[in-house]
């Protein structure tokens, strides 16, 4: 069996159902790769006591028809894996070493590790630097004892959280299939009876943590009962569910859980559940004044950065408040909540994701703890819904019509537009191209023109034919209903496309790019300082060697992007960056920002596009890529 099929089988075990998108996110592969692996597994499993069932709307489920046959099959896979597996990349070695050290009860000699992996001690030493950084994220350290070797040290709770991330997913759980299935069954029943709701990824994570807890207690490793854990008793609903869960687990496995383990499970329940208000719930959901004020600051920060005003959106406020309640538990205890939809959120709801990053920077400042991209992704979904609600309430637009010449022809065009698009237009004027510079263009939302406009204007432009044909009518309606407001290429220009930048830090890069902008375009004071303020709150690297920094506040009169390509990558936060999209957002609401972020995020997340830009370093290449992405998006809408 190939590695991909083994990973897929492991992912399906202990879960009720997983969609292709969730599996793709968990395995870090494409949907197509998932479907191929599903097809291969479907051919292999029936002869070994199991099958993959497809449930409409829910995804793929593993069904075990003959447990003994399937267990034999899993054991053979594990034996083959132990015989055949040898990490052949730095990333694989790091995960292998983490798994080995986290499950080791005694000191491990580095020479034994290097011999086991068939690598030099120098290569292992380089990998161990990353291992120590990853352990530090969980407040764990590597204790080094001369003559004995190395050993992971830290409190039991942090050890378990690290094991769940790096070791539990790496170990093949086939031999534990029955235990995981039984735990999943008990957890699901307890949650239903307690009227608690968790997402499917959170459910799987909870099952894994309980599995790890059982194994650790069996090996004599216990969670100490701290003051913080005792305070969990205030969360009566979670404690009641945890008690019920523990009693069912003890009965099923003839196993005694210490009292602290019950509190440990309650912490996971409180940190993983979504605070949904249901008709069947009794009592009121109480949002504290502290959380309410925090959400007010979050929405104010979003308004200042993007000039989208959600401050009076009660539905969004409640959604954010409800999400912060379990988030506070996760931050307090260092719990990780994986977001399997993160890449899709970044791509499909890019503006909402950027808004979430801005909002989460306020939480990070308040709690003095950095939020992960996964957490920001969940907040992005709330902002995406709020943006959709705004979109459904289409505001009438102010339009300027521009013709080649002649007052009479301009007036005829004006009457035609009033007749055809009157329900979408608040105010409309017409002028010839020679008088456009005399107009106060800040009063208009869009310009429709029959001729090229020779000057730079701060308003979206859509070229149209003088006589409206059916296709022209469709295009104009798309613009006026915000389905499309012209090409995002207008936000990019050759004078803001910089190559060959030779700097060592992001501060040097951003200082140079801000100075370049200020020499060519009037900007308010404090532009660079505002960009750095945003960077200090949380990093703006997108991964994939790309970053998208922007000011903390919307300072510019227009929206534009300055692209900078570096000679060599620099460390931007936790990842390296070689291409920078410094974005300035105009200081008024621009509904076309959704399209701008959607197109730009597709570029940033596509390694092929980034590689092409880094290789060719030409503005025309950037234009071609943007045009191709826009065409793809528009074709999907048709």
Q: What is the pLDDT of residues 84-124, one digit of tens each?
A: 556 778 888 888 899 889 888 889 999 888 888 888 888 99
DSSP 358: H
- Hey, what domains does the chain have and what are their CATH numbers? 1-85 (1.10.10.10), 86-171 (1.10.10.10), 173-272 (1.10.1790.10), 289-392 (1.10.1790.10), 397-481 (3.40.50.2300), 490-637 (3.40.930.10)
What is the percent of the chain with per-residue pLDDT over 90, rounded to a whole number?
24
Quickly state the pLDDT bin for 442 (edges 50, 70, 90).
confident
* 286, pLDDT greater than 90: no
If you average pLDDT over each of 18-22, 213-217, 464-468, which comes out highest?
Answer: 213-217
Which residues, other chains included, contact 105 with Cβ-Cβ below 8 Å and sequence gap of 6+? 219
Pairing of strands 545-547, 541-543: antiparallel
What is the percent of the chain with per-residue pLDDT over 70, rounded to a whole number?
88
State residue 174's pLDDT score.
Answer: 46
Quickly state the pLDDT bin for 224 (edges 50, 70, 90).
confident
> Which is nearest to 62 in space by CA: 11, 24, 12, 4?
12
* 394, pLDDT greater than 90: no
- For tokens 């120590």, the residue is 132
Tokens of 410: 């301009």
* 230, pLDDT greater than 80: no
pLDDT per position as a tens digit, 444-453: 888 988 888 8
pLDDT per position as a tens digit, 336-364: 877 878 888 888 888 899 999 999 999 98
> Which is nearest to 557 in space by CA: 457, 427, 625?
457
pLDDT (mean) for 306-312: 89
> Which is nearest to 344 in space by CA: 5, 28, 579, 613?
28
pLDDT per position as a tens digit, 560-583: 999 999 999 998 977 889 999 999
> Which is nearest to 363 in space by CA: 327, 335, 333?
327
What is the distance in angstroms between the CA of the first residue and the CA of the last residue of the chain? 42
Judged by DSSP in three states, 108 sits in strand
Q: Which residues pair with 427 in a beta bridge?
A: 398
Quickly state the pLDDT bin for 275 (edges 50, 70, 90).
very low
Which residues, other chains included, contact 460 with Cβ-Cβ below 8 Å and sequence gap of 6+? 445, 446, 447, 479, 485, 486, 490, 592
pLDDT per position as a tens digit, 142-196: 999 998 999 999 989 899 988 888 765 434 444 456 787 888 889 988 888 888 8
The mean-pLDDT minimum among 82-91, 246-255, 280-289 falls in: 280-289
Rounded Cα gap, residues 366 and 357, in angstroms: 14
* 253, pLDDT greater than 90: no
CA contacts within 13 A on the Cβ side of 529: 4
pLDDT per position as a tens digit, 584-620: 988 877 767 888 888 888 899 888 999 999 999 999 9
Phi/psi of residue 39, each to 5°? -60, -45
Phi/psi of residue 183, each to 5°? -60, -45
Phi/psi of residue 335, each to 5°? -75, 140
> Which is nearest to 151 in space by CA: 119, 186, 88, 105?
105
In b/e form, how buried is each residue of 316-343, taking b as 16+ CB within 10 angstroms? bbbbbbbbbbbbbbbbebebbbbbbbbb
DSSP 570: E
List C-alpha distances in Å: 154 to 130, 157, 160, 224, 263. Answer: 17, 8, 10, 12, 19
* 420, pLDDT greater than 80: yes
List C-alpha distances in Å: 304 to 298, 355, 623. Answer: 10, 11, 30
If you average pLDDT over each of 162-176, 205-219, 236-250, 518-532, which comes out highest?
Answer: 518-532
* 637, pLDDT greater than 80: no
CA angle 425, 428, 434 (to 5 degrees): 145
Is the pTM higher than 0.75?
Answer: no
Rounded Cα gap, residues 237 and 46, in angstroms: 42
pLDDT (mean) for 497-508: 94
Q: Assess contact for 610 and 585: CB atoms under 8 A.
A: no
Mean pLDDT of the chain, nearest integer = 83
């Amino acid at each position: 069996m190939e590695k991909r099929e083994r990973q897929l089988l492991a992912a399906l075990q202990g879960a009720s159902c997983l969609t292709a998108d969730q599996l793709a996110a968990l395995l870090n592969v494409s949907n197509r790769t998932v479907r191929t692996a599903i097809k291969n597994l479907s051919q292999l499993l029936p002869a070994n006591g199991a099958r993959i069932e497809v449930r409409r709307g829910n995804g793929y489920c593993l069904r075990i028809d003959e447990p003994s046959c399937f267990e034999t099959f899993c054991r053979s896979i594990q034996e083959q894996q132990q015989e055949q597996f040898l990490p052949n990349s730095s990333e694989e070695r790091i995960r292998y070493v983490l798994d080995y050290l986290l499950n080791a009860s005694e000191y491990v000699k580095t020479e034994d590790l290097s011999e086991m992996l068939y690598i030099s001690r120098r290569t292992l030493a380089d990998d161990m630097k990353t291992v120590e950084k990853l352990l530090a994220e969980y407040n764990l350290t590597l204790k080094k004892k001369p003559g004995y070797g190395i050993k992971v040290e830290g409190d039991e709770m942090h050890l378990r959280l690290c094991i769940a991330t790096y070791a539990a997913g790496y170990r093949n759980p086939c031999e534990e299939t029955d235990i995981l299935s039984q735990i999943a069954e008990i957890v699901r029943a307890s949650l239903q009876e307690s009227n608690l709701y968790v997402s499917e990824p959170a459910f799987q994570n909870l099952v894994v943590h309980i599995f790890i807890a059982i194994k650790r207690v069996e090996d004599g490793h216990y969670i100490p009962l701290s003051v913080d854990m005792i305070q969990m008793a205030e969360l009566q609903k979670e404690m009641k569910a945890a008690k019920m869960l523990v009693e069912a687990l003890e009965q099923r496995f003839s196993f005694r859980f210490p009292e602290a383990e019950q509190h440990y499970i309650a912490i996971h329940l409180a940190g993983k559940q979504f605070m949904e208000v249901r008709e069947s719930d009794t009592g009121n959901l109480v949002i504290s004044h502290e959380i309410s004020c925090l959400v007010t600051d979050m929405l104010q920060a979003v308004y200042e950065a993007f000039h989208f005003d959600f401050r009076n959106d009660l539905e969004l406020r409640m959604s954010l408040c409800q999400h912060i309640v379990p988030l506070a538990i996760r931050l307090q205890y260092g719990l990780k909540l994986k977001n399997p939809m993160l890449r899709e959120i970044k791509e499909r709801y890019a503006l909402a994701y950027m808004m979430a990053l801005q909002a989460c920077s306020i939480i990070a400042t308040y709690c003095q703890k950095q939020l992960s991209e996964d957490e920001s992704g969940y907040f992005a979904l709330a902002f995406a819904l709020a943006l959709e609600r705004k979109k459904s309430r289409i505001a009438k637009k102010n339009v300027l019509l521009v013709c080649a010449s002649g007052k009479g022809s301009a007036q005829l065009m004006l009457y035609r537009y009033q007749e055809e698009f009157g329900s979408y237009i608040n105010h409309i004027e017409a002028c010839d191209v020679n008088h456009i510079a005399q107009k106060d263009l800040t009063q208009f939302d869009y310009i429709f023109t029959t001729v090229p406009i020779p000057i730079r204007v701060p308003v979206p432009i859509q070229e149209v034919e003088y006589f409206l044909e059916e296709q022209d009518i469709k295009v104009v309606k798309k613009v006026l209903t915000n389905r499309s407001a012209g090409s995002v290429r207008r936000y990019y220009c050759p004078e803001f496309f910089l190559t060959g930048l030779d700097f060592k830090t992001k501060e040097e890069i951003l200082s140079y790019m801000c100075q370049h902008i200020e020499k060519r375009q009037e900007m308010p004071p404090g532009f660079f300082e505002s960009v750095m303020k945003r960077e200090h709150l949380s990093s703006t690297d997108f991964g994939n060697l790309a970053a998208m920094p922007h000011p903390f506040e919307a300072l510019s009169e227009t929206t534009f992007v300055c692209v900078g390509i570096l000679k060599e990558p620099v460390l931007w936060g936790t990842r390296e960056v070689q291409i920078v999209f410094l974005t300035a957002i105009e200081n008024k609401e621009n509904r076309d920002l959704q399209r701008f972020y959607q197109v730009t995020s597709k570029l940033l997340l596509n390694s092929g596009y980034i590689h092409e830009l880094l290789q060719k370093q030409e503005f025309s290449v950037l234009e071609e890529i943007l045009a191709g992405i826009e065409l793809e998006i528009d074709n999907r809408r048709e």
